A and B are shown apart, each in its own frame.
Chain A
Amino acid sequence: MSHQPVKFYQTGTFTVGNRLLAPEERSVQASAKRFNSINSGHRACQGCGEALGARYAIDAAMEASHGQLVCANATGCLEVFSTPYPETSWQLPWIHSLFGNAAAVATGIAAAMKVKSIKAGKGPVPATRVVAQGGDGGTTDIGFGCLSGMFERNDDVLYICYDNGGYMNTGVQRSSATPPAARTATTMAVGPEPGNVFGQGKFVPAIAVAHEIPYVATATVADLRDLEAKVKKAMTIRGARYIHILVPCPLGWGAASHETIKLARLAKETGVFPVFEAEHGEITGSLKIRRKLPVEEYLRPQKRYAHLFGKQPRVEVIARLQALADRNVKKYGLLDGGTL
């Protein structure tokens, strides 16, 4: 468990804040003085999970680094909706380069900060911290080489991937993080095995763990306390760190804009998306499922899975997705009394 849950104050630590909680028990997001790292006026769709996840994460990182933070951003929705020239929503030093090189750009910034610190006589550990961020396409596909290099060299960068399961910015194409059976513009719901095929793609958090870097975690926009605790923890560590956040995309997933958080919650509660932490190659804990639900609950509200729920429901496909979720439950000990 990433944070110490407050057991009982009406809503405990499930809600963002609560008037009955001591100030130190409230989240960064509950503060009237939070940084609002991505300001209002950005052009993300209504109910964008990525805009929300990025504010949650970067605000927590800003708080942890006392505002001494530089951010490198890969191409993708997050960059496009936040900085149409000449406007910017970012309220921190922010740099954009290319679709595939955010990790490398961040490595360069970290190196520069180190040199500056040494030159200023403050030693080789700079006060200014570096975050890189990108979508799942920019991270798990085109940016993967740069990312793996950053891990392998243990560069002092926190890399955050916002996983919405596809290339949303260019019109919802498949990425290697698109889940099986999901419909995208390039994996259409046609033919005998409609939607994205089973048995392909990759789960980069597991690959990051395999790099044995100091810290790896997954999170969703439905568990703010968990997410903030993970970002803050990552900021206490030097070296390569990776956080992978599930951010529902109303447009790409074919869901109502008000269901963003609900879908993230369902992804976790069904076991579809495992929420866990790892240090130096070892899994150290997972966020438990509170009330286990069947995968249908998660799939049904999303039009990208509509083909599974036609006149003749595709029970065998749903069963395969259920099996994947059950595997996560076992592998990451998502239920009480699990293996962890």
Chain B
Amino acid sequence: MDKPFAITLDPGSSLANRTGSWRTYKPVYLDRLPPCNAACPAGENIQGWLYHAESGDYEAAWRALTENNPLPAIMGRVCYHPCEGACNRQHIDAAVGINSVERFLGDEAIKRGWAFPKPEKKSGKRVLVVGAGPSGLSAAYHLARLGHEVEIHEAGPYAGGMMRFGIPQYRLPRDVLNAEVKRILDLGVVLRLDTKVANIRESMQVGKFDAAFLAVGAHIGKRAFIPAGDATKIVDAVSVLRSMEGEEKPMLGRRVVVYGGGNTAIDVARTAKRLGATEAIIVYRRTREKMPAHDFEVEEALQEGVMVKWLSTIKQAGEGEITIEKMALDDKGFPQPTGEFETLAADSVVLALGQDVDLSLLDGVPGLEIKDGTVQVGPNMMTGHAGIFAGGDMVPSERTVTVAVGHGKKAARHIDAWLAGGAYAPAPKHELAGFEKLNPWYYSEAPHTLRPTLDIIRRQSTFEEVQGGLDEGNALFEARRCLSCGNCFECDNCYGVCPDNAVIKLGPGKRFEFNYDYCKGCGVCAAECPCGAIKMVAEDI
């Protein structure tokens, strides 16, 4: 080539200059563990399913959700959502309404008739599940999807466990429960109702089962000694709530006293109100702050006219009235009697003091360890007896539907591995995407969406559902409030902010890649990634 005066070299591109060699730190993409996922007792990939919901693909969202939990419409009503307590968005405005989006997806699935995919291959193994509560249903679902033949033996006349015989209809309509149970049975799971297992080893032998998962819950109402005359009606909360499912509604009278401070006490008091009690009074020996019931439920009960006597114990029950003693908290926060008494009119006293497990089906099984009335299990959910696994309320746990579902899933995975002669190794957990890993500047202001609530008159007299759901518009909005903590959501920031064009955009759904030939390691991309999906790591030099 003929060159102009004083020019001796061809013009070249700066691409010849590999500035990547300047680098001492390099950026790498990673997936961090969102705090919601870390907090979910059922091990849901919340950020993962919200990601699909954000784009309006609700079916993909529901499918991602049900990989871990087959009961989203139920969850969206009864779960105490520890995910929201952990959600990073609370440090910006308010937590994402994960629970309300979950309910929307669950209801949408019922409306549209979405079904679970049938297992591709059969294992030829048979597993017995005892109890059709959330834990048993969850285990059955996962075992069926893993290709095992599953039979559920349930003592009661309906499936659902405490979701049917405990949680009142105004919180969980039964058509929702039925729809989600049916979808699990449609996978080929056999459900035998009115089939109480009296001896587990015998039932396993007779039915030729290779393994069993026990989830019989805790159904025996705890008693307290209360001196009482013959005329006083003392019943336990679980029996009252159970009889709500039968033909004959319980007769509690016009003035009902409930003894206890948990969610069951609240539910039974609210039920009594709806059955026509003029007074429903909860007697609890400690203060509101110390109450194990969730505050929002206490609030809803108070709104409906339920009354609470804090710092009180029942001393005696007589004809049409009871005597209570005032308590005072000592320096350690324990309630102590004061010697001050009061009488309350009462037609009946309902004890809601917690439940014990009926372990009789395990009589004579060798190797078991029973402690504090619950069966001990290992990290793989197996009891001391090989092949017998257990979960839910009958093992030491927080006793919630969500924990029960989580136990069912975990047990199913271990049973599957155990049946194949191996051991299940869960994937290693990613590091946590704490709030300090995010760059919150980039998120738009977006206040939390509130769910509609049934008006108060209908709440006092009917069993209609109290809390409403979101519609499509606000469910989408709520899903899009998610910060996508620790997981790339393709906002193009890294691609845009690199002063060296060293980020390659791979196209929709494919995320990005670094071009280490030119990346100088300045770290701007990592600093400006909104969701903390880039990490700077030292180069070995």
A residues within 8 Å of B by Cβ? 7-12, 14-20, 26-27, 29-30, 32, 36, 38-44, 46-49, 51-52, 55, 82, 85-89, 224, 250, 256-262, 265
Is A40 a contact of B501 with CB atoms below 8 Å? Answer: yes
Segment at the A interface, from B231-239, B262-270, B488-496: B488-496
**Whose C-beta in chain B lies nearest to the C-beta of A83?**
B14
B303 at interface, CB cutoff 8 A: no
B423 to chain A: closest CB distance in Å?
39
Known: A46-B22, A88-B12. A11 touches B443 (CB 8 A): yes
Q: When the two chains form their complex, are residues B480 and A14 in contact, meaning their CB atoms are under 8 A apart?
A: no
A265 to B441 alpha-carbon distance, docked (Å): 10
Tell which of A26, A87, A224 touches B16, judged by Cβ atoms closer than 8 Å.
Answer: A87
Give Cα A49 to B441, complex, Å: 19
Q: Which residues of A are found within 8 Å of B520, using beta-carbon distances?
A: 46-47
Residue of B nearest to A12 (CB): B444
Known contacts A17-B496, A18-B490, A86-B11: A40-B502 contact under CB 8 Å: yes
A46–B444 CB distance below 8 A: no
Question: Smallest distance from the beta carbon of A12 to chain B beta carbons, Å?
Answer: 4
A260 contacts which chain B residues (CB < 8 A)? Answer: 499, 522, 524
Stretch from B157-165, B343-351, B373-381, B525-533 that touches the partner: B525-533
A interface, by DSSP: helix, strand, loop or mixed?
loop
Across-interface contacts of A55 in B (CB, < 8 A): 499, 501
Task: Point out the residues of chain A lying under 8 angstroms from B482, CB to CB.
Answer: 10
B221 within 8 A of A: no
Q: Let me know if A11 and B17 touch, CB within 8 A.
A: no
Q: Which residue of A lies closest to B526 (CB)?
A: A258
For B484, list chain A residues within 8 Å (CB).
10
Q: Does B521 sit within 8 A of A, measured CB to CB?
A: yes
Q: 18 A–B contact pairs at CB < 8 A?
A: A10-B54, A10-B482, A10-B484, A11-B530, A14-B444, A17-B491, A17-B495, A17-B496, A27-B496, A40-B502, A41-B17, A41-B18, A41-B19, A82-B14, A86-B11, A87-B12, A257-B523, A265-B441
The tally of CB-CB contacts under 8 A between chains A and B is 163
Decide: B497 and A261 in contact? CB cutoff 8 A. yes
CB distance from B481 to the nearest CB of A (A): 7
Other 7 A-B pairs with CB < 8 A, given A10-B481, A257-B524? A8-B477, A36-B501, A41-B15, A42-B14, A44-B499, A257-B523, A258-B536
B524 vs chain A, min Cβ distance (A): 5
Known contacts being A11-B444, A17-B496, A52-B497, is A39 close to B15, with CB within 8 Å?
yes
Interface centre among A29, A46, A82, A259 (most CB of B within 10 A): A46
Distance in angstroms from B176 CB to nearest chain A CB is 30
Task: List A contacts of B502 (CB < 8 A).
Answer: 40
Tell me if A86 and B489 are in contact (CB < 8 A): no
B507 within 8 A of A: yes
Query: When chains A and B are docked, how far (Å) is the Cα of A175 from the Cα of B434?
Result: 43
Bound complex: CA of A257 vs CA of B477, how far in Å? 36
| Residue tally, chain B, CB below 8 Å to A | 55
Bound CA span A17–B500, Å:
18
Which residues of the partner chain B approach A42 to less than 8 Å between Cβ atoms? 14, 17, 19, 500
Query: In the bound complex, do residue B16 and residue A257 qualify as a contact, i.e. CB atoms below 8 Å apart?
Result: no
The reply to whether A14 and B443 contact each other, CB–CB distance below 8 Å, is yes
Question: Which chain B residues numbered 499 to 520 have a C-beta less than 8 Å away from chain A?
Answer: 499-502, 505, 507-508, 515, 517-518, 520
Q: Is the CB of B13 within 8 A of A88?
A: yes
Q: Is the CB of A259 within 8 A of B527?
A: yes
Contacts of A258 in B (CB 8 A): 522-524, 526-527, 536
A179 to B77 alpha-carbon distance, docked (Å): 58
The answer to whether A18 touches B14, judged by C-beta atoms less than 8 angstroms apart, is: no
The residue that A19 contacts in the complex, of B19, B55, B518, B522, with Cβ under 8 A, is: B55
A17 pairs with B14, CB closer than 8 A: no
Q: Roughly how many angstroms separate A73 CA and B518 CA in the complex, as a whole number?
A: 24
Residue contact A48 to B14, C-beta cutoff 8 Å:
no
Cα separation A49 to B524 with both chains bound (whole Å) = 10
The 10 closest A-B pairs by CB, nearest first: A17-B492, A16-B496, A258-B523, A41-B14, A47-B522, A46-B522, A40-B518, A86-B9, A15-B491, A41-B17
